Amino acid sequence: MTHVFLIAHLGGCRVAIESGAVESIIQVPDVVPVPMCDRSVAGIFALRSRVLTLIDTQLLITSVSQPVGRGALAIITEIGGHQYGLLVDKVDDVVAIGDHQIEAKIAPPAAWARYVRDIATTQGELVMILDTNALVSGCVAAVE
């Protein structure tokens, strides 16, 4: 079976997000910090009259915060009826990846393991297929 994926870069690595999970790709407007929230929540922002949570995906995976400023790129996804922005470094292309391209014998780096569903070869390079649900569930609720 073949699925369509958006190829992006995150923390210097190629990643893929299933196209069905991608609502849009935006340049982030002004971001408002959320006090007493997990560090992986970069803040909130307004998009099309809705307030979305912006996830610092690089921080979640590498423990190194990604600079968040006006114009940063985010992939908008909906999980559990809520929209989130997932920060990425850049977006490349949309590609089809078939089951035969999955590299079952290659494991992701330890820091990525929780967030990577599979690793595949596409366009002659390895790409980590991200689990967007895991990225969002990796965020901790606000501290009381």
Residue 69: per-residue pLDDT: 82
The kind and range of the H/E element at 136 are helix 132-137
* Residues lower than pLDDT 50 in the chain: 140-144
> Strand pairing of 41-47 and 50-55?
antiparallel
Long-range pairs of 28-37 with CB within 8 A, sequence gap ≥ 24: 28/54, 28/68, 28/69, 28/70, 28/71, 28/72, 28/73, 28/74, 28/85, 28/87, 29/70, 30/70, 31/68, 31/69, 31/70, 34/142, 36/142, 36/143, 36/144, 37/142, 37/143
The kind and range of the H/E element at 82 are strand 82-88
| Each residue's pLDDT tens digit, 122-140 | 989 999 999 999 988 855 4
Q: Which domains does the chain have, with CATH numbers?
A: 2-137 (2.40.50.180)
Pair of tokens at residue 102? 């999955």
CA pair distance 58, 67, nearest whole angstrom? 10
| Each residue's pLDDT tens digit, 21-39 | 999 999 999 999 999 888 8
Residue 139: per-residue pLDDT: 54
